[in-house]
Structure 1
Amino acid sequence: MTAKFDDFLQEQLQNPEFSEEYNNLQPERAIIQAIIDARRTSGLTQKELSTVTGIAQGDISKLEHGNGNPSVRTLKRLAQGMGMTLRIEFLPDATESAEK
């Protein structure tokens, strides 16, 4: 099933408007995936993470499904609950430096 989605995504990315919007949403997708990966790496279920952090399991689910906008404070609480440290980076934009 993943291969079919990947093929579909590659086809859609040929559309410049779709591609631009997809690229604009990359930070949000990265945060969602980082939360999911960190929770799985820590071996916690959403319910267990909820118990440790005091963040409702439903809210954790919403974040993992892209239906939330977590604050840095919330991200820190999640990281601490998983025994991890939150790190946020600002990186040079490859397209900006290529245009200069």
Structure 2
Amino acid sequence: MKTLNEMLENQMQDEKFRKEYEEMQPEFDVIRAIVDARTSQNLTQKELSERTGINQADISKLENGTRNPSVSLLKRLAEGMGMVLKIEFIPKQKV
């Protein structure tokens, strides 16, 4: 059975798939950052909801990629986890 990484590596050989995946990477990064930050604090979505006043269903939507957060919402999440929000622009890699 193939692992997820093996399957992704195989799919990345397809130019069209690779371009679409790379275009979505910022969204994936935001989702991963939210989930990683929350789990690093050993918080459930419900606990984070109680700390931030953001509906648990909305936190779930953020984490499953069906809702895009505003910077203001990201700041509220960070504050609720005792963190600060940091956004960076990174130079592109030259091919």
TM-score range, shorter-chain basis?
over 0.9
Identity across the alignment (%): 55
Identify, as 1 or 2, the structure richer in helix: 1
Q: How many residues align?
A: 95
Match of 1:57 in 2: 56
CA distance, structure 1, for counterparts of residue 93 and residue 11 of structure 2: 22
Query: Structure 2: which 5+ residue stretches go unaligned?
Result: none
CA–CA distance in structure 2, aligned partners of residues 92 and 6 of structure 1: 25
Matches within 5 A, 1:72-91: 72-91=71-90
Q: What is the SS of the residue equivalent to 2:3?
A: helix
Counterpart in 1 of 2:70?
71
Structure 1 alignment gaps of length 5 or more: none
Q: Alpha-carbon deviation of 1:70? A: 0.2
| CA root-mean-square deviation | 1.3
4+ aligned runs moved over 2 Å, structure 1? none
Kindly provide the CA deviation profile for residues 15-36 of structure 1, in whole angstroms up to 9, marking residues without a partner as x: 0000011011111000000000
Matched, 1:17 2:25: no
